Amino acid sequence: MRVANIFNLGVKELRSLGRDPTMLLLIVYAFTLAIYAAATAMPEALNKAAIAIVDEDRSPLSARIVDAFYPPYFITPSLIDQAEMDARMDSGLDTFALDIPPNFQRDVLAGRIPVIQLNVDATRMTQAFTGSSYIQSIVTGEVTSFARRYRADTELPVDLELRARFNPELNKSWFGSVMEVINNVTLLSIVLTGAALIREREHGTIEHLLVMPVTPFEIMTAKLWAMALVVLTACAFSLIFVVEGFLSVPIEGSIALFLVGALFHLFATTSMGIFLGTIARSMPQFGLLIILILVPLEMLSGGTTPRESMPDTVRYLMLAAPTTHFVMLAQAILYRGAGFSVVWPQFLALALIGSALFSYALARFRSTISTMT
C-alpha cells in the first residue's frame, strides 16, 4: 500500500465529482433546503389551519367563540352560511367547519346542552387529529367562562412545575433540523461512494485502474476518504450556517466532537456504499437497493421513534446497524451537550461495525475486480 496512491486516487474522485452537476446539486440541496424544509414543515404541528364558522346564533357568546380562533394555530375564521359549508370543504378550502346552531346562547344560559357541529376534513390527518382537540378545548373554555361570567382559575390539588430540558421552547424545528442533518449524512455517504464505483464501471475507467500499479485496497480507500470528506464538510457547513445560523437552533455540545463521531459513522456507511455498488450493475438498480437499505436504517435507528417503543427483536437487531449508534451519539452531543466520557461506547460500536463492513466490502470489491480481469 502506498499512501500517495490513495491520496492521488482520492483527488481523482473529487475531480470526477466536481464534473457531475447532478451529484453536486444533490449535496447542496441535502444540506440546505432539505434541512430548512424538515425544520419548518412539521405536519403534526397545528399551524394556520383553515377554519370556517357558520354562526346561526349571532349572539355575544357565538361572537366570543369566533374571536377565540386566531393565528398561529388557525387562520382568521371565514364566516359563511350553511349552504357554503359543504361546498367549501369539498373544494379543500377548509380543514374545519364549525356550525353554531340558532338559540345557542339561550340554551346555554337555560342549562340545556346544545350541540355544536364540527366538520373535519380527515384527509389532512395530522391537522384533523390535533385540531379537533384544540377546537373542543377552545369552545369548552369560552362557553364555561361565559356561563360563569368570569374566567375561573382551576385549583388543582397538585402543582406540576414543568421544566423542559434541552428544548425549553418545545420547538419542533430544533429536532427536525438536526435529525435531517443526521439522516442526510447517512444518505449522501452511501449514495456518493456507490455512485462513484458504478460511474467507474459505466464509463469504463475501472479497467484503466486495473492496469495501473494500484491495489483494490488503495482504490477502495481512496473512494472512501474522498466521499467522506465531501459529506463531512457539507455537514459542518450545514450545522454552523444553516442550523445554528439561519434557523437559530442552539447546539449544546461540541460540533468538533460530533464531526469526529460522524467520521466514524462515515467509515461504516461509505463501506456500505461500496458494497452496494459491487452488487448493483447500474444506477437504477443502485437506487432501488438504497431504498431497501436506507428506509429501515433511518426509521428504526431511533431518530424518528424512540427505540424503547420498538419491539425487543427490532431493538436488538438494530444494534448491528451503524445508524443506531450514530443517532444516539449525535443526539447526546448536539442536544444534551454530552462529552466523550458519555458517548465512547457509541464510538467503539461504530469502529467495530465500520471495520466489519469495510472488510466485507473490500472482499466483495476484490472479488468483483478479479472477475473483470
Q: Write down which residue in 148, 180, 200 finishes a domain.
A: 148
- The residues, any chain, with a CB within 8 Å of residue 13's CB and separated by 6 or more, are 196, 222, 223, 226, 227
pLDDT tens-digit series, residues 292-321: 888 888 888 888 778 888 888 988 999 999
pLDDT tens-digit series, residues 10-30: 898 899 888 889 899 999 999
- Per-residue pLDDT, 1: 58
pLDDT tens-digit series, residues 351-360: 999 999 999 9
Q: Is the model's pTM score more than 0.85? A: no
pLDDT tens-digit series, residues 113-122: 888 999 998 8
157: in domain: no
Q: Of 19-23, 342-346, 368-372, which has the strongest mean pLDDT?
A: 342-346
Question: Rounded CA gap, 214 and 225, in Å?
Answer: 16
Do 177 and 272 lie in one domain? The reply is yes
46: in domain: no
pLDDT at residue 156 greater than cutoff 80: no
Do 29 and 62 lie in one domain? The reply is no
- Per-residue pLDDT, 333: 92
pLDDT tens-digit series, residues 212-234: 788 888 888 999 999 999 999 99
**181: how many CB neighbours lie within 10 A of its CB?**
26
Do 123 and 253 lie in one domain? The reply is no
* Cβ-count burial 28-39 (b if 16+ within 10 Å, e if not): eebbbebbbebb
Average pLDDT, the chain: 86
Do 66 and 92 lie in one domain? The reply is yes
